[in-house]
Chain A
Amino acid sequence: MKMMPSCREISEQASDYLDQDLSPWQRAAFRMHLLMCVYCRRHVKHLGFTVATLGKIASEEKARENDDIQQIIALIKRQQKESPEQKGGD
């Protein structure tokens, strides 16, 4: 096994690195590369930033869900009235 991944390989593994999905060996080599390469440090940091930003966008969207829920419950009740208790499934 080659000791040190290239910058390109770092870029390819960065997503798995952020998810902690690299093997211990890969992770060690990845970190070793980061220690020595300012560009890859920047790149990985930015990818992490990208992920965090997406999470932020999602949390802003979460506010508006309540009336939908009432509507769905009503829909489910209607459906259950129309087809009460199917015996033994299908």
Chain B
Amino acid sequence: MNQQLPSDNELIPRLLAHDETAYTQVVSAYHGLMVHLARAIVGPAIADEVAQAAWLAVIRALPRFERRSSLKTWVLRIVSNTAKTRLRHESRTVSLEDTQGDQTSINAGQFNASGRWASPPTVWHADTPDDLLASQELRACIDTALRALSPLQRAALTLRDMQGLDMESICKVLEVSESNGRVLLHRARHRIHAAIEEFYQQ
């Protein structure tokens, strides 16, 4: 995708010295990811704006970066915090998290009292992700399900399954505990899965 990014040890001093090549490398490597994360939390309309604001915050804060995490994780945490703050301003009513409680009961209705399948999973008429995505209707269902996730669920899902970050970094970026991070991801995946399942049930 982009050329090999130098190590943090090499990059950070160059960034602090305002080396333009270093900035170009870092922006090329991280900007897309930042926009995706911002979009997951605040939605597409202001995601670019949030990512820009986050870059300015990164530049300001870089002299004080203590290197307790990788540069990438630190930058993404700034995006996450910028986005969360923005979201709180935009709409006081929206909660970042899902209401607690039902972490295991997403598909509780599918199981009987002894924990067996009450109604078996539907057979999906698709053998690859491409088959799934070939259907415009199904794609629309997936988009709708993505939009219905809570901002943090969507952020966890985006970073893990769409951008390939590891769970430990994701939890640092979103400032959630390891177990909360897993619950966010688990719920988000099950909701998308349920949307596809529903599509095939019809």
Contacts and interface: CB of A to CB of B under 8 A. Distances in A.
Are A and B genuine complex partners? yes
A76 B116 CA distance: 57
B124 A79 contact: no
Given A49-B132, A58-B163, A77-B20, A86 B55 contact: no
Contacts of B117: 7, 39-40
Contacts of B162: 54-55, 57-58
Contacts, number: 126
Chain A contact residues: helix, strand, loop or mixed: helix
Interface string B169-202: 0000000000000100110011011001100000
Interface in A63-89: 65, 68-69, 72-73, 75-77, 79-80, 83, 86, 89
Contacts of A65: 31-32, 35
Interface stretch (B5-13, B21-29, B86-94): B21-29
B63 A55 contact: no
Given A65-B32, A79-B56, A89-B63, A50 B24 contact: no
Given A7-B117, A69-B31, A15 B185 contact: yes
Interface residues of A, number: 42
A6 to B, nearest CB: 3
A28 interface: no
Given A7-B111, A7-B115, A54-B162, A72 B120 contact: no
Contacts of B59: 76, 79-80
A32 interface: no
Question: Of A9, A57, A76, which is in contact with the most chain B CB atoms at under 10 Å from its CB?
Answer: A76
A81 B117 CA distance: 64
Contact of A73 (B20, B108, B123, B132): B20
A71 to B, nearest CB: 8
Interface residues on B, range: 35 or more
A46 B31 contact: no
A55 B56 CA distance: 29
Interface string A1-14: 00000111101100
Nearest to A13: B186
Interface of A: 6-9, 11-12, 15-16, 19, 21, 39-40, 42-43, 46-47, 49-58, 61-62, 65, 68-69, 72-73, 75-77, 79-80, 83, 86, 89-90
23 contacts: A6-B116, A7-B117, A15-B186, A16-B182, A19-B167, A21-B182, A39-B120, A39-B121, A46-B124, A46-B197, A47-B189, A49-B132, A50-B193, A54-B162, A58-B36, A58-B161, A62-B32, A65-B32, A68-B31, A68-B48, A72-B52, A80-B59, A86-B63
